[in-house]
Amino acid sequence: MSTLAMRPSGGEGIRSAKLFAFAAAILIVAELIGSFTFKIGPGKVVLLPMIWALLLGAALGVISDRSKSTLRLDVKTQFYAAAILQPALLLFIAKLGLMIGSALPKLVSAGWALAFQELGHFVGTILLGLPLALLLGIKREAIGATFSVGREPSLAIIGEKYGMDSAEGRGVLAEYLTGTIFGAVFIAIFAGFVASLGIFDPLALAMGSGVGSGSMMAAASGAIAAQQTPEMAKSVLTFAAASNLITTTVGTYFTLFISLPMALFGYRILEPLIGRTTSASSASEAALANRPKLGDVETEAPHLRYGGKVLAWVITAVFALICDWMTHGTTPLQGLPGMVTMLVAVVIGDALSTITGRRIPAVCWVSFVAMFATSPWCPWGAQLADLSARNDFLGVTTPMLTFAGLSIAKDLPAFRRLGWRIVLVSFVANAGTFLGATIVAQFFHI
């Protein structure tokens, strides 16, 4: 019997139609709400439509748990959303690659300090965050939560390697939520405090600020710049932006080939030595207790066939065009050429990954193809960069997180058991990435 395909039949067809209808409604509501900003102490929190989409999807799942209606978001449909999320993440990676290609000359000229501080970003999260997570009784969720600061590329990497319906997937998603809501405020306070100690060069601190999140970079560099002379403040902001660009681009490969293997190695070594058993330790078992077991649901990610992936890419692309239209007034006709460029990069990258036996993940192939498409070495690089610039970065992110939100409810027992522990681990991991990069940058800069 066919799994998720271009033309699912029977119950699967109804389930797919229901899921996409839910996703479309949530997407439109989230875009209508728009951005919301509020201050907390010296920093501020910005809630974008992508966050509303994530929260609305999760809320729908919670409400559905108490409903008996056939229109509710049942557990099988939540599995379906998790299956759709994984290929949808590749469209985000393609957009990121298209943005990187034209910036490659700038990255090459950034210098050794900017290049090597990237290692500090991801090593720092593991050295501090992973041991703490194990001491608090968190198990394999600790891998997803501490191998990076858990931004969108990290979701894509974990989603492809383990599936979002996994302990690692729950860990990275919990890190993403914590970092989104509290990350900017925490890093602003922490970076300002470290800067006030006078231990590090301001430019090293600036490079440490580029953690791969625009809001967190702005908060950290702003807190550092506020303690400098006007001229040095400008340099701080410039170096922070360059560092963040490198983290957002090169960082995808660091997380995949260096920090994730390091986190796995660290977990195997440290868990038997310092791992504890607490209520958080049984989070995975609690999440599995009242839902179908692996293999019971035909639309789970491991069973997603190529037709289903194409459907996920097309639906995500359509939703992204709607987001651009509602947010920026870019009509679907104007945004279509850039979106087709993204889809072509995804299809080629996924095909290359399949041909090579998945030894190099699709995330990398898609990124390579997209980067080349807009690089100076591509004959049509400038034209493709211009076309892709019409598609907003957040326009692709919001549909991705809509499906993430619709898949969350089945894992809420695990999130509740992780509770304050995952928030504390997230703070420590964010502090680790800032300090690690700052120390490496200080060494190469001085």
Provide the pLDDT confidence category of residue 120 given band limits of 50, 70 and 90: confident
105 band by pLDDT with thresholds 50, 70 and 90? confident
As a whole number, mean pLDDT of residues 238-263 equals 79
CA–CA separation, 42 vs 234, rounded Å? Answer: 20
pLDDT for 112 equals 62
pLDDT value at residue 7: 43
> What is the Cα–Cα distance from 317 to 322, expressed in whole angstroms?
9
pLDDT at 32 over 90: yes
Helix (H) or strand (E) run with residue 67 in it: none
- What are 140-198's pLDDT values in tens digits? 889 998 988 877 778 888 887 888 778 888 888 888 878 766 777 788 888 888 888 88
Tokens representing 99 are 């943005």
**Is the pLDDT assigned to residue 42 strictly greater than 90?**
no
Q: Is the pLDDT of residue 345 over 90?
A: yes
Using pLDDT thresholds of 50, 70 and 90, give the confidence band for residue 41.
Answer: low
What pLDDT shows up at residue 317? 96
Q: Cβ of 32: how many Cβ atoms within 10 Å?
A: 10
**Of 9-13, 116-120, 284-288, 435-439, which gets the smallest average pLDDT?**
284-288
For residue 33, pLDDT over 90 is answered with yes
Percent of the chain at pLDDT above 90? 23
- Between 111-120, 125-134, 333-342, the lowest mean confidence (pLDDT) is in 111-120
Confidence check: pLDDT of 318 > 90: yes
Every domain of the chain and the residues it spans: 10-445
* DSSP assignment of 297-345: STTSGGG--HHHHHHHHHHHHHHHHHHHHHHH---HHHHHHHHHHHHHH
Q: Picking from 19-33, 87-101, 186-200, 343-357, which range would have the lowest pLDDT averaged per residue?
A: 87-101
pLDDT-based confidence at residue 40 (cuts at 50, 70, 90): low
Nearest to 365 by CA among 105, 153, 93, 118: 93
Cβ-count burial 85-117 (b if 16+ within 10 Å, e if not): bbbbbbbbbbbbbbbbbbbbeeeeebeebbbbb
- How confident is the model over 292-320, as a mean pLDDT? 67
Contact 180, 219 (CB under 8 A): no
- Specify the 3-state DSSP secondary structure of 428: helix
Of the listed ranges 153-157, 272-276, 386-390, 430-434, the least confidently predicted one is 153-157
pLDDT at 104 over 70: yes
Backbone dihedral angles phi then psi of residue 199, each to the nearest 5 degrees = -80, -40
pLDDT of residue 152: 72
**In the prediction, which pLDDT does 96 show?**
76
Mean pLDDT computed over 213-234: 81
Q: Sign of torsion, CA 105 371 149 217?
A: positive
Average pLDDT of the chain is: 81
pLDDT given for residue 263 in this prediction: 92
> 39 or 374: which carries more pLDDT confidence?
374
